[in-house]
Amino acid sequence: MPLPVGIYRADQVGSLLRPKEILSTREKVLAGSATASQLREVEDRYIAEVVQKQLDAGLRSITDGEFRRAWFHLDFLQHFDGIEVQGSLTSTNQSKGGVQPPRLVVTGKLGHSKPIQVDDFRYLESQIAKAGGQDKYGTVTTKVAIPSPTMVHFRGGRETIDMEAYPSLDEFFDDLARVYQEELQELYDAGCRFVQLDDTNLAYLCDPAMRSAAESRHGSDAKTLASQYADLINRAIEKRPSDMTIGIHLCRGNHRSQWFAQGGYEPVAEVLFRDLNVDVYFLEYDDARSGDFSPLRHLPEHKVVVLGVMTSKRGEMDDADTMVQRLNEASKYCKRGLDQLAISHQCGFSSTMEGNELSEDQQWAKVRAEVEIAKKVWGEDISK
């Protein structure tokens, strides 16, 4: 059975370490000494470079490194009508430097008055073509990563959703699904064929402490909440054309090499694999925090898992033989064995603009190593 469109045996989650000039220009914009258009010009230049670097490293699912974002989720979600960033969340999982994640607030009816990701997609696609694209490198995919719709609800809950706009949460979830449907259709019409949803929340429900806190915050048990989120995601993607691949990435936190949650996938495994209507899963599996591979027994034979057994959190190289061993171990739980698996790092290298604590040289060495491991396991053509 062929891999879904856009998926490769050596794949990636999406974000890459930000060039210093992008970071400094972003600071100037905040200080009022540079314009947003000047920042975009800098981003354009470095995105063109990072496209070439990904292709040269052997990757074929190409992103813009999320160079246009400060946070993996906020810089997308705040462009929907009715969503604003206001203040910070109160969290016991404080990041390095005392950083608390910003707080999303639903201030009015949700709307999608303009495309959010289309211009970025078109620019990325143009740079892939300029670098040689399909003609030079064979099968290549322009990948768009956006936050899961659950990110609007999980951390804030009812108190961050305006009561006048949404006296009923049912109507809120209806509108949230609708604006995602509209964005996906805009992307499809622009030529996009692979979208990845980045979701921390289903993974957070695997952590006993976070699961308990979520139950208190939302007034429902974690199993019900997981099912509610699966329904939300399914409705958000249900109108996608049949030739658009949808993936989902689960993460337990990735800020400056920190993690925030732990626990195996078993509490959400059946909902995740059986109820969620995505084509491919990007799963964090770089250390013992993620549990064992037994939840993969629920994986239907027509779906694929990109197994994040390598780590983006440290500069030290992952041992290739150990990675092969772990892939083989995981394959025992899959109905079609290794044919249902691919390899990646557990998350991107820079889920926020600060990035993980490793150098760019280390980042690219790890990416090249990932491609070589994939070739060792599945053969030279990583698209099969």
pLDDT in single tens digits along all 384 residues of the chain: 889 999 999 999 999 999 999 999 999 999 999 999 999 999 999 999 999 999 999 999 999 999 999 888 889 999 999 999 886 665 545 445 555 678 899 999 999 999 999 999 999 999 999 999 889 999 999 999 999 999 898 777 788 999 999 999 999 999 999 999 999 999 999 999 999 999 988 888 888 888 888 777 777 788 888 999 999 999 999 999 999 999 999 988 666 656 566 788 999 999 999 999 999 999 999 988 889 999 999 999 999 999 999 999 999 999 999 999 999 999 999 999 999 999 999 999 998 888 678 999 999 999 999 999 999 999 999 999
Look-up: residue for tokens 């989720």?
Answer: 73
Identity of the amino acid at 37: S
Q: pTM of this prediction?
A: 0.94
Token code pair at residue 313: 């959190």
The number of beta carbons lying within 10 Å of the beta carbon of residue 359 is 10
* CA dihedral of residues 373, 375, 376, 379 (deg, nearest 10): 160
